[in-house]
Chain A
Amino acid sequence: MGKGQPSYTDEEFVAAIRHGDDRALAQLYRLHFPMISHYVLQNSGTDDEAKDVYQEGVMVFYEKVRDGSLELSCQIKTYLYAVCRRLWLKRLTEKTRFGGRLDDHEPFLETGAEADLELAEERDRRFATMAEALDRIGEPCRSLLEGFYLLDKSMQQLTAEFGYTNADNAKNQKYKCLVRLKKLFFNHYQEEEHY
């Protein structure tokens, strides 16, 4: 690390990431990766699993920061540790080969990470439903919506790409697709909520 990059304090990290500074994100990522990697490897995980868990953990942190809803009562390091620990615990339970306690090497604090994680899980479920709805909606709606909402393309770009005569046609098509997506999404989502 180091190599001429600015080093941040925790507050500076949060501020920079909130303003969309990708360099700060990358540095934060590098800073705490060894800790989580070590933790997962110590607890019968592999290198790839460590990366997965860590990316999910950072994602939770990142989304909270971007929302502006993060209330950090401890160090970022501790927060990440708590989140990743929780995530790894869940994974181990899913793998059903976990029958004991986790080998902690950092004191595990009440960080509020647990609650954040539940929110994140809720959001994960919603995203999963969305992904499924997008899968089922069929072409060209899928490409159109993905282009507009996921890949941030402008209407003009999409008009040219899909061969519509003008932007209004494309827009109309988009609205129709949204209606279809809405049906798929809400039906499925609410169905799931009922159970």
Chain B
Amino acid sequence: MKTESDYYALFDAYRSGELAAPQRADLEHRLATDPGFARRLQDYEELTGTLSAYGRRLATRRKLHAIQAEMDAEAAVRITPEVAQESFATSTAPRPLLRISRTEEKLRTFWHGHRATMMVAASVAVLAVFATLLGLEMYRAAQNSSGSLYGYTVLRREVERIKRNQRAMNRTLSQVDGNAKPEIINPGKFSGTGFALTADGYLVTSYHVIQGADSLLIESRDRQRYRAEPVFTDVAHDLAILHIKDKDFKGFGRLPYSFKRGQSDLGEKVYTLGYPREDLVFNDGSLSARSGFEGDTGFYQISIPVNPGNSGGPLLDDRGNLIGIISGRQMDVQSAAFATKSSYLMKLVDSLSAAGAGQAYNLPRANQLAGTSRPQQIRKLRDYVFVVKVYE
């Protein structure tokens, strides 16, 4: 009787073809007739087959592991080539696989997962920063260049531009009149108009005329110059009060006009004097609205054609009452100029007097202009209207 292992020896020999022909025929005959025996062979083959397949599987796994390890090593070398070179240079054994720390690994996974999102976020941030900077720059530029916002233009004159023309004119003049020396004066950067508030050296002008000024120079019609400094400013109503501080200043004398405390009526004939150029310029019109730009009740709208340089000029009615201070105009509307109401100036002066800061304000009470013709009014008035020159 054969044991099972003997059968296995027989099967092994049969499968590898080592069996002699008669034995082989015998075996095949037995396989055909005995199902139990055939089943035994089947089991044997399944067993050895599985074993071999298992062996192949393990071999394949080793192969794939090797490939992966090789790839990892290459990646590690690629990530840190300088480290690898260093280790070669110091003649220590080169490390085939560089370990990366746990934190770094986590960071890398995070980066892999959120790379796209982070890049989008970064671009948005960069764009936002630049848009903001650019926007601010443009806004500032717009503020500075013309002082215009939403079509509103303040009327201070940029002297620099005019100066160039003047110099050219001077040159021509000196060529004509050979020995005349051109007067060298510094005309300042901006100029506007101002007028006397009290006889003892207080003046009124617009705030935007003296905005950002380092020093101020007041020039009267007869080229008399005084140095002045701002005493008080009211940005909201575009008002500034200046005081002349020259020692040799004697006072303006009696002011011919008085200040109106109430409001004027629509349709009132009004006029102004100012220095939009080097000479005194008269302009007139009517009071066309009792509110200013965008309904600002601190201002009148007037139909006087005003120009840069008119800012801070006095606005007077027919009877010689001062009713406002020229402030600006609206670009997109035909001859719409704006003037601060004198009532606000009065309130400002009253509150300053009440606060007791500095000297008292002795406002003119009597009006010498009422009932006189306009040229006469202007002849009296012109000595109290000044150029305000601003140096930055």
**Nearest residue, chain A, Cβ from B5:** A175
Query: Dominant SS at the B interface?
Result: helix
Interface size class of B (residues with CB under 8 A): 20 to 34
Interfacial chain A residues near B51, Cβ < 8 Å = 130, 145, 149-150, 181
Chain A residue total in the interface (Cβ 8 A): 38
**Does A59 lie within 8 Å of B61, measured CB to CB?**
yes
Interfacial chain B residues near A185, Cβ < 8 Å = 47, 50
Interfacial chain A residues near B53, Cβ < 8 Å = 123, 127
Q: How far is the CA of A59 from the CA of B63 in the complex (A)?
A: 10
Task: Report if A115 contacts B (CB, 8 A).
Answer: no
Interfacial chain A residues near B109, Cβ < 8 Å = 41, 46-47
Task: Report if A92 contacts B (CB, 8 A).
Answer: no
Q: How far is the CA of A62 from the CA of B67 in the complex (A)?
A: 14
Bitwise, A134-164 to B at CB < 8 A (1) or not (0) is 0000000000010001111000000000000
**Closest chain A CB from B195 CB (angstroms):** 77
With A47-B105, A176-B5 known to touch, is A131 a contact of B54 (CB < 8 Å)? yes
Q: How far is the CA of A179 from the CA of B53 in the complex (A)?
A: 18
Interfacial chain A residues near B67, Cβ < 8 Å = 25-26, 29-30
**Does A59 lie within 8 Å of B8, measured CB to CB?**
no
Interfacial chain A residues near B55, Cβ < 8 Å = 149-152
Task: Report if A178 contacts B (CB, 8 A).
Answer: yes
Task: Report if A84 contacts B (CB, 8 A).
Answer: no
Within 8 Å by CB of B64, from A41, A58, A123, A127, lies: A58
**Does A55 lie within 8 Å of B61, measured CB to CB?**
yes
Q: How far is the CA of A178 from the CA of B63 in the complex (A)?
A: 27
Bitwise, A32-65 to B at CB < 8 A (1) or not (0) is 0100001001100011000100010011001100
Task: Report if B353 contacts A (CB, 8 A).
Answer: no
Q: How far is the CA of A13 from the CA of B57 in the complex (A)?
A: 19
Interfacial chain B residues near A127, Cβ < 8 Å = 50, 53-54, 57
Task: Report if A188 contacts B (CB, 8 A).
Answer: no
**Does B47 lie within 8 Å of A178, measured CB to CB?**
yes
With A63-B57, A123-B53, A150-B51 known to touch, is A171 a contact of B9 (CB < 8 Å)? yes
Task: Report if A22 contacts B (CB, 8 A).
Answer: yes
**Closest chain A CB from B74 CB (angstroms):** 9
Which residues B59-77 have CB closer than 8 A to chain A?
60-61, 63-65, 67-68, 70-71
Q: How far is the CA of A175 from the CA of B12 in the complex (A)?
A: 9
Interfacial chain B residues near A171, Cβ < 8 Å = 9, 12
**Does B43 lie within 8 Å of A182, measured CB to CB?**
yes
Task: Report if B172 contacts A (CB, 8 A).
Answer: no
Q: How far is the CA of A178 from the CA of B55 in the complex (A)?
A: 15
Within 8 Å by CB of B48, from A51, A178, A186, lies: A178
**Closest chain A CB from B185 CB (angstroms):** 77
**Closest chain B CB from A181 CB (angstroms):** 7
Which residues B359-392 have CB closer than 8 A to chain A?
none
Task: Report if A5 contacts B (CB, 8 A).
Answer: no
Which residues A52-86 have CB closer than 8 A to chain B?
55, 58-59, 62-63, 66
Task: Report if A90 contacts B (CB, 8 A).
Answer: no
Interfacial chain B residues near A150, Cβ < 8 Å = 51, 54-55, 58
**Closest chain A CB from B6 CB (angstroms):** 8
**Nearest residue, chain B, Cβ from A33:** B71
**Does A179 lie within 8 Å of B64, measured CB to CB?**
no
A interface list, Cβ under 8 A from B:
22, 25-26, 29-30, 33, 38, 41-42, 46-47, 51, 55, 58-59, 62-63, 66, 123, 126-127, 130-131, 145, 149-152, 171-172, 175-176, 178-179, 181-182, 185-186
Can you give 30 A-B contacts (C-beta < 8 A)?
A25-B67, A26-B70, A29-B64, A29-B68, A41-B109, A41-B112, A41-B113, A42-B113, A46-B109, A47-B105, A47-B109, A51-B68, A55-B68, A59-B60, A59-B64, A63-B56, A63-B57, A123-B53, A126-B50, A127-B50, A127-B53, A127-B54, A131-B54, A150-B51, A150-B55, A152-B55, A172-B5, A175-B12, A181-B51, A182-B47
Closest 6 interchain pairs by CB? A175-B5, A150-B55, A175-B8, A149-B51, A179-B4, A176-B5
Additional A-B contact list (17), CB under 8 Å, known A150-B58, A175-B5, A186-B43: A26-B70, A30-B71, A41-B109, A55-B61, A59-B61, A59-B64, A63-B57, A130-B50, A130-B51, A130-B54, A149-B48, A149-B52, A150-B54, A171-B12, A185-B47, A185-B50, A186-B47
